[in-house]
Structure 1
Amino acid sequence: MSKAVLDIHEKPRAGQLITFSFQHMFAMFGSTILVPKLVGLSPAIALLTSGIATIIFLLVTQFKVPAYLGSSFAFISPILLVTGFGQAGVEVNPGNAMIGAMAVGVVYGIVSLLIWKTGYKWLMNILPPIVVAPVIIVIGLGLSGVAVDMAMNVDGEYNGLHFSAALVTLAAAIIFNVFFKNILSAMPILLGIVVGYIYSVIVGIVDFTAVQNANFLAMPDFLIPGVDYEFKVTSAILIGMVPVVIVTISEHIGHQLVLGKVVNRNYVKDPGLHRSLLGDGLGTFASALIGGPPKTTYGENIGVLAITRVYSVYVILGAAIVAIIVSFSGQLMALIETIPTAVLGGISILLFGIIAASGLRMFVENNIDFGNNRNMVIASVILVVGIGGAAMRFTESFAIEGMALASIIGVVLNLVLPGREIVEKDIYEIEE
């Protein structure tokens, strides 16, 4: 274990604080603004709420866990379904995403309470790798069509110039991710977007009119202008979004284990999984209250911690404050809005592919035996339902997003099929 440059509660000097905080802000920036761009929400609000959610998380975890919370990719498909964004002939209502995200935050709180009272082994028995891994694959592959369409088409028609921008973006992100071993390798999404954007400017597919007309400072639009919001709790919204916590809770646990190894702490025990889950849930709930997408702890920032060995929670707090300040920059937010769809599509090809590949890696790392018919059945059903049923419509007004339905079916199959292995070991000891 390498010695920390700055440990958890060590305070950096002013110059260090600014430098290290901006590093973390840049690491999460690309992914955090990409999610709202894909689902029709405000990038400025996503950035603002990422800072707010991170501060809430630090408070709930007693400033013991140096984690940054950004926009969750797991909720892209569910948000598209419940809001109607990008669906022909469907009235768009972003308010549905807010209601769904609040419900997700409440579920996090309930799970946190149960863990506090009963421990967490029951959770591992409900969400074993044979359920979580194929659902993660579904998240990535289910969005693959969206990524390719964004990369190749403009207004429904193939556009070679825009596709070239997507390829340049994709190539740049791959190069930074594979061939660089320093801090640059921790932020391939942001750097890929930057390179793709510069190329787009050179070939003339970027319009700067909005940037020229924007104010230097501007209050983020909590509600998107010109869009009617309706806030109403419905079963369709709850069923469309809440089941995704099956994946995000598993992701959260994995991040806590990895982060604990990086900083040489046992975060499952102190401050406890119940506190970190509650912090995540409250961050998501607070984000939804002001129009932001659901939140999750970010692997990108864990990567920055591992590379720099700067573990100070003051740096994470500084990054959150920087993100909040940047969200009020009217011209910067306007500049973000000029990013061509093709650039976002190019980066999404890599990003969604990595998500799917991480599910495959989970199969390998947990030695899942596909000679076992039980495992084969569970994985097969989850994959086909999740990828094949983009949105399964039961009535005219009631549909379940395929990934959500696949998650529910996977949990049920795991519980009812014979041969289930019961987890008895401590979750932290499993990782040792």
Structure 2
Amino acid sequence: MSEEKVLDVHEKPKKSQWLILSLQHLFAMFGATILVPYLTDMPPNVALITSGIGTLAYLLITKGQVPAYIGSSFAFIVPLQTAIAADGMAGAMVGAFLVGVVYGLIALGIKLLGVNWLFYIFPPVVVGPIIMVIGLGLAPTAIDMAMTDLDGNYSSTGILVAGVTLLITIIFSVFFKGFLNIIPILLGIVGGYIFALTQGLVDTSNLKASWANIVESNSVGEFANAFFASPEFVIPFVDYMPHQVINLNLVWIMVPIAAVTIMEHIGDQMVLSKVAHKNFIKRPGLHRSILGDGVATMIASSFGGPPNTTYGENIGVLAITRVFSVFVIAGAAILAIMFGFSEMITVLIESIPKQVMGGVSILLFGIIASSGLRMLIDNQVDLGMKRNLIVSSAILVIGVGGAFIQVTSDIQITSMALSAIAGIVLHLVLPGKELASGNGRMFHSVEDINEGGN
């Protein structure tokens, strides 16, 4: 692969290429962005709109220096499902907003104190198993979507569709090169959708009705009503009635997960810095990029969208295409907003069978769990040492086993939050903290980047 940049961070693409490059980038993010709202019964068009607005806010906060697209975070799927069940959509969005506030506080702490204190509290032996808990905790959801019909009954046809979808995703991920290798999720969903059509699992009635309304439009007003969707925005501090005391249960459900996504963000920034040959940790600064993530999450939650985060897919597209232009990223964000207001796009997304999403989810959730394991391996964390074994074992069993603490009748510390808290506490109280980071590669990465220049 050539290391020569096609477009650098601040270079504008040619007008004839701009739209195509932005569409290409959006498509790489599309599959993952709509999966989170699909699994949490949130409006997918709102997720698209808020990811676009969040990306533009991120670019503004980072002074247009970091080519990153912001989208729905997988880490919050289970917390969102729990929070929505407990306090409704508006209540869950209040919890998501608080996550963004935590991002802002962490950004302030990094600005004042540097970054090493974060690694002291969240070493690989803590973060790796927590990421594994996120993936493994979602596994039953993927299998249920793949194996059952709309009534929750066992479905051999559903398993076939999920299997074909999974196979298509794997084939494009393993055997194809270039851009097709970067969008296996999207291609898997498209291929699975087409196969599901042949199996009679796709309800096309709403698609046909939407298309008929567009074709039969006799005026600009009728066309606009048929083509444009009216997103189901949820305004948390209005719909949740802010005069009430915020349910502390939302804090325990949502906020602890911010620790994991912040560490993922730091890892993404390190890799992105190496790929782009820029020092994003130093300039515009890690505090700005984390603040950008936080503001994007607060914006998303203010309209009923899932918490946002930077994407690994974003780095993959940049590495393959060598197009680092923030103008291309901004174009993708604007297109996402436009797609979110499209009635046809919304209806098309809603028509995707759950078995198709179950097929891609099997791979995606497994990758999440495997990435936690990879963190332990890459940092050469020695699980032969008792303290490391104890910390990681406690996190895994508490998180995957579904342990929780019922503080009051209204406040519950969920398994994912409890596993994170237990891991942090055990790490801080057990002797031998220097063993928690393995070979210290996470620390060295920060030092190496800080020593480099732009």
User: Shorter-chain TM-score: what band?
Assistant: over 0.9
Map of 1:137 onto structure 2? 132
Tell me, yes or no, if structure 1 residue 189 matches structure 2 residue 190.
no
Q: State the alpha-carbon separation in 2 of the partners of residues 425 and 380 from structure 1.
A: 24
Match of 1:114 among 109, 118, 138: 109
1:178-231, Cα deviation, whole Å (9 max, x unpaired): 11121011111111000000001111111112223332212212149xxx8666
SS in 2 for 1:93: helix
Match of 1:412 among 394, 403, 425: 425
Structure-2 change in CA distance of 1:42 and 1:230 (3 Å): farther
- Higher helix share goes to which structure? 2
Moved more, 152-161 or 391-400: 391-400
SS in 1 for 2:376: helix
The code of the aligned residue for 1:351 comes to: L
1:232-278, Cα deviation, whole Å (9 max, x unpaired): 62110011100001100000000000111110011111100000000
Tell me, yes or no, if structure 1 residue 205 matches structure 2 residue 198.
no
The code of the aligned residue for 2:184 comes to: P
The code of the aligned residue for 2:298 comes to: F
Map of 2:92 onto structure 1? 97
Aligned positions, number: 423
Q: State the alpha-carbon separation in 2 of the partners of residues 391 and 210 from structure 1.
A: 41
Identity between Structure 1 and Structure 2 (%): 53
Q: State the alpha-carbon separation in 2 of the partners of residues 334 and 156 from structure 1.
A: 23
Gaps of 5+ in 2: 211-225
Tell me, yes or no, if structure 1 residue 397 matches structure 2 residue 410.
yes
Map of 2:171 onto structure 1? 175
Map of 2:233 onto structure 1? 222
1:382-406, Cα deviation, whole Å (9 max, x unpaired): 0000000165544433222211111
Moved more, 141-150 or 152-161: 152-161
Query: Structure 2-normalised TM-score?
Result: 0.90
Do the aligned residues in 1 keep the contact of 2:247 with 2:410 (CA within 8 Å)?
no
Map of 2:446 onto structure 1? 428
Do the aligned residues in 1 keep the contact of 2:169 with 2:185 (CA within 8 Å)?
yes
Map of 1:32 onto structure 2? 33
Do the aligned residues in 2 keep the contact of 1:72 with 1:294 (CA within 8 Å)?
yes
Matches within 5 A, 1:27-426: 27-84=28-85, 93-154=88-149, 155-214=151-210, 215-223=226-234, 233-389=246-402, 392-421=405-434
Map of 2:215 onto structure 1? none
Do the aligned residues in 2 keep the contact of 1:378 with 1:413 (CA within 8 Å)?
yes
Q: State the alpha-carbon separation in 2 of the partners of residues 24 and 403 from structure 1.
A: 32
SS in 2 for 1:157: coil
1:17-54, Cα deviation, whole Å (9 max, x unpaired): 11110011100001100100100111000000000000
Q: State the alpha-carbon separation in 1 of the partners of residues 208 and 405 from structure 2.
A: 44
Q: State the alpha-carbon separation in 2 of the partners of residues 37 and 234 from structure 1.
A: 25
Structure-2 change in CA distance of 1:245 and 1:223 (3 Å): closer
Do the aligned residues in 1 keep the contact of 2:36 with 2:77 (CA within 8 Å)?
yes
Do the aligned residues in 2 keep the contact of 1:97 with 1:293 (CA within 8 Å)?
no
Do the aligned residues in 2 keep the contact of 1:121 with 1:426 (CA within 8 Å)?
no
Structure-2 change in CA distance of 1:38 and 1:430 (3 Å): same
Q: State the alpha-carbon separation in 1 of the partners of residues 122 and 64 from structure 2.
A: 28
SS in 2 for 1:94: helix
Q: State the alpha-carbon separation in 1 of the partners of residues 405 and 228 from structure 2.
A: 44
Which protein is bigger by CA-based radius of gyration?
2
Structure-2 change in CA distance of 1:236 and 1:328 (3 Å): same
Q: State the alpha-carbon separation in 2 of the partners of residues 396 and 187 from structure 1.
A: 45
1:47-92, Cα deviation, whole Å (9 max, x unpaired): 00000000000000000000000000000011111111xxxxxx77
Do the aligned residues in 1 keep the contact of 2:399 with 2:418 (CA within 8 Å)?
yes
Q: State the alpha-carbon separation in 2 of the partners of residues 327 and 390 from structure 1.
A: 38
Do the aligned residues in 1 keep the contact of 2:95 with 2:254 (CA within 8 Å)?
yes
Do the aligned residues in 1 keep the contact of 2:39 with 2:77 (CA within 8 Å)?
yes
Q: State the alpha-carbon separation in 2 of the partners of residues 249 and 73 from structure 1.
A: 13
Q: State the alpha-carbon separation in 1 of the partners of residues 300 and 181 from structure 2.
A: 29
The code of the aligned residue for 1:138 comes to: V
Structure-2 change in CA distance of 1:11 and 1:186 (3 Å): same
Structure-2 change in CA distance of 1:393 and 1:176 (3 Å): farther
Map of 1:88 onto structure 2? none
The code of the aligned residue for 2:133 comes to: V
SS in 2 for 1:204: coil
Structure-2 change in CA distance of 1:176 and 1:219 (3 Å): same
Structure-2 change in CA distance of 1:81 and 1:302 (3 Å): same
Query: Structure 1-normalised TM-score?
Result: 0.94
Do the aligned residues in 2 keep the contact of 1:95 with 1:230 (CA within 8 Å)?
no
